[in-house]
Structure 1
Amino acid sequence: MPCYLCGARQNDPVRGTHPWKRGVRHERQVLICPDCQLTQDWKADLDRCGRCRSTFLLSRLGEIECHSCGEVRPQTSPQPVPSSAHLDAVLTNEVEQALSRVLGGLSRLPGPRRAHR
């Protein structure tokens, strides 16, 4: 499962501490990579416990459990998560559009000046 913020994929974890964090967003389990933990307010988008407002939630088998206070509630119908193929297509389209804008801007620049003979 990739990081829900940047799409980075985790490598096989080594024994010991696990640098990736888990959370629940739109009632689906998500992972947050170590880089996004440092550069973004990653907890702001996560679901919160209805009782204690903690983001330390786990989504499993039709229920959401809070690891802070122990509350367990049924999972409502989660929003669909886009497939990686869909995300790749969106990203490719955005890159192509950005490249087109840059190249279009370059074509409007004046060309090199030629020396008169």
Structure 2
Amino acid sequence: MPCFRCGARQSDPVRGASPWKRGVRADRQVLICPGCQSSPNWTAELDRCAECGSTALICRLGEVECRSCGYVREARPQERPGDLVTSGAPGLSEEVAAALSRVLKRGPIG
């Protein structure tokens, strides 16, 4: 899953805790890369808990749960799942196709 702000993708993790953060935006789980976390207002773009106002939310199995106070609510259905990443970054399928072409020494696909 890419960073919802810039479209950067995670590389293989190094031992220890990941520098990437999780959040919820428009009732969808998103990741925030370390570079975007350096922006002063990056949490302003995330959903907040209706009970305590925290941005420490997780989305799973159609529910959004606050990790701060434990409040759980039903997630709203999504109409178009690709709306969150608006950067010009290639999608996962394009990245996989390019990687396979490099590994298998083929010319460009398409």
**Is the TM-score greater than 0.5?**
yes
For the pair 1:10 / 2:10, whether they are aligned, the reply is yes
Runs of 4+ in 1 over 3 A off after TM superposition: 86-89
Larger of the two Rg values belongs to structure? 1
Aligned amino acid, residue 3 of structure 1: C
Q: Following superposition of structure 1 onto structure 2, how do residues 88-107 of structure 1 map, counting pairs within 5 Å?
A: 88=88
Asked if the contact 2:63–2:73 (Cα under 8 Å) also holds between the matched residues in 1, the reply is yes
Report the Cα distance in structure 1 between the residues aligned to 2:49 and 2:78, rounded to whole angstroms: 16
Is residue 2:50 matched to residue 1:75? no
Higher relative contact order (CA 8 A, sep 6+): 2
Q: Distance in 2 between matches of 1:87 and 1:5?
A: 7
**1:17 positional shift:** 1.4
Taking every aligned residue pair, what percent have the same amino acid on both sides?
Answer: 59
Structure 1 position 77, deviation (Å): 1.0
2:20/2:34 contact within 8 Å kept: yes
Can you list the C-alpha shifts for 1:14-59, whole angstroms capped at 9, x where unaligned? 2211100000000000000000100351100100001000000000
Relative to structure 1, the CA distance from residue 45 to residue 66 in structure 2 (aligned partners, 3 Å threshold; closer, same or farther) is: same
TM-score normalised by length of structure 2:
0.72
How far is 1:80 from its partner? 2.2
SS at match of 1:69: coil
Greater helix fraction, Structure 1 or Structure 2: 1
Unmatched runs of 5 consecutive residues or more in structure 2: 90-110
Provide closer, same or farther for how the CA distance between residues 23 and 46 of structure 1 changes in structure 2, counting only shifts above 3 A. Answer: same
TM-score, normalising length: structure 1: 0.68
